[in-house]
Amino acid sequence: MKRGLTLAWLLFLASVPLWLDNLYILHVLIMTGIFVIAAMSLNLLLGYTGQLSLGHVAFFGIGAYVSSLTTLGFSVHLLPDWQVSADPKPVWFGMLLGTVVAGLFGWAIGRLAFKVRGAYFVIVTISFAEVIRLVALNWVELTQGPMALNNIPYLRLGIPEVFEVAFLRKPANYYLVLAVGILCYIIIRRLVKSRAGRAMIALRENEPLASSVGVDVTRYLVLATVVSAAMAGAAGTLYAHYVRIVDPDVFLFIYTVTMVIMVISGGKGTLAGPVVGGIIFGLLPEVLRSARVPPEMQWVVYGVLMILVVYFLPQGIVPAVRDWWLSRRAADAPDVPAEATTKAASR
């Protein structure tokens, strides 16, 4: 039943470019998909280890910039008479490198921040993202600063002049984002249902108890940060080669906030939560736009919605729906204590 539902949902997603002839809506769906990947990566940290990273957009932006610069080539003076240059590399390599470098930054942040939790972790991650944004803005020789990196090449896969798929048009990009999204979902699913994921959940739920049964807290926080950062970086590389222009605004804090809202509203610490929240908050701006709501008003709505979700659906949409569903079933089968079922399901 559950398997069939998943399959139907995937088939539906895969069929979208076949019947949707509105390219603008397809564009919105691609951008939503990229953000869903970023939100899923954030959920690994926020939902499963309980650490709120508000610098998550930094990993996204690092992925975008590294991949763009690798595929465009660059030449910078690190010292007055020491010049470092790189020729343009293939896009698949740039995307891989962007993902890896974002993961390395995640490792560094994880190591640096491993002893701090809660508010302090949040502020460290924000600071990190701001420093990176200021570097992107000011290191003009490398990043073109506010002039942005333009004409970023699109992805081609295959053997040149024999058989090659070009990810230039929207349907191709849609399938690319969908494929990467499914891959990230599978990786996260495997992680959280394994020893590693259990260790992350354990340290979120009760850190002293987790370490008393041998969980190396630092190790699993760093693991979560690395995987999470690499995935956010991958989302950034998708963004760079789809939009094909990257400027320091990719580091804007508001994007992190968007990811946080997606995770919290959908349900942190659930696999489907960021997907549901991501789709809602990815499409909401377009709904508001078509209702001729000015963009500022749209953000006001975002802020108010965020407060309302925290007040009325603190667990998020997915757990709320599941609790409702399970409590109905429990009412049919009175031998299972309803409270036990719902609480167990809401983790």
Partner 1 sequence: MSQSPASAELIVKDLTIRFGGLTAVEGMTFEVNRGEVLSLIGPNGAGKTSAFNAITGYIQANGGSMTYQGTLLNGLKPNQIAELGLVRTFQKTSVFMGQTVLDNVLHGLHLVSKQRPLAIIFGLPSVAREEMELAAEAHRILGFVGLSGRADWAASSLPYGELRLLEVAIALAAKPKLLLLDEPVSGMNPSETASFMKILAEIRKLDITVLLVEHDMKMVMGVSDRVVCLNQGKIIANGSPAEIQGNPEVIRAYLGERYVRAQG
Partner 2 sequence: MDQFLQHVLNALILGGTYALLGIGLTLIFGIMRVVNFAHGELYAFGAYMMYLWVMVLGTNFYLALPLAVLLGVMLGALMEFVLLRKMRGADIDTTMLIMIGAWIALQNTQQLTWTGVAKSIDSPFPTSPLVLGSVSVSWNRLFVFIVALALIGATYVIINRTRLGKAMRATFQDRDTAALMGVDINRIYTATFALGSGLAAAAGALLGPVFVVYPTMGDLASLKAFAIVILGGLGSIPGATIGGFILAFMEELGAGYVSSGYRDAMGFLLIIIILLVKPTGLFAQKERIG
Q: Which residues bind partner 2 (CB under 8 A)?
A: 52, 112-113, 115-116, 118-120, 122-124, 126-128, 130-131, 134-135, 137-138, 208, 253-254, 257, 260, 264, 294, 296-297, 299-300, 302-307, 310-311, 314
Task: State the binding partner of 347 from partner 2, partner 1, none, CB within 5 to 8 A by kind.
Answer: partner 1
Q: Does 206 contact partner 1 by CB under 8 A?
A: yes
Task: Check: CB of residue 85 under 8 Å from CB of residue 73.
Answer: yes
Q: Which is nearer to partner 2, 152 or 261 (CB)?
A: 261
Q: Which residues contact 86 (CB under 8 A, 6 or more apart)?
A: 69, 70, 73, 74, 75
CA dihedral 34, 278, 300, 294 (to 10 degrees): 60
Cα–Cα distance, 121 to 92 (Å, whole number)? 33
Q: Which of 8, 169, 216, 329 binds partner 1 (CB under 8 A)?
A: 216
Q: Which does 127 bind (CB under 5 to 8 A by kind): partner 1, partner 2, none?
A: partner 2
Candidate list 4, 214, 331, 335; residue touching partner 1; CB under 8 A: 214
Q: For residues 16 and 13, give the distance between their C-alpha atoms in angstroms, rounded to a whole number.
A: 6
Count Cα atoms within 13 angstroms, Cβ side, for 31. Answer: 17
Q: Does 102 bind partner 1 (CB under 8 A)?
A: no
Q: How far is the CB of 243 from partner 2 (least distance, A)?
A: 23
Which residues have C-beta within 8 Å of that of residue 213, sequence separation ≥ 6?
202
Residue closer to partner 1 (CB basis): 17 or 316: 316
| Residues 171-190 close enough to bind partner 1 by CB under 8 A | 186-187, 190
Instruction: Give the DSSP H/E element, type plus range, for residue 237.
Output: helix 217-243
Q: Which residues contact 208 (CB under 8 A, 6 or more apart)?
A: none
The site for partner 1 (CB under 8 A) is made up of 186-187, 190-191, 193-196, 198-199, 201-202, 205-206, 208-217, 223, 227, 337, 339-344, 346-347
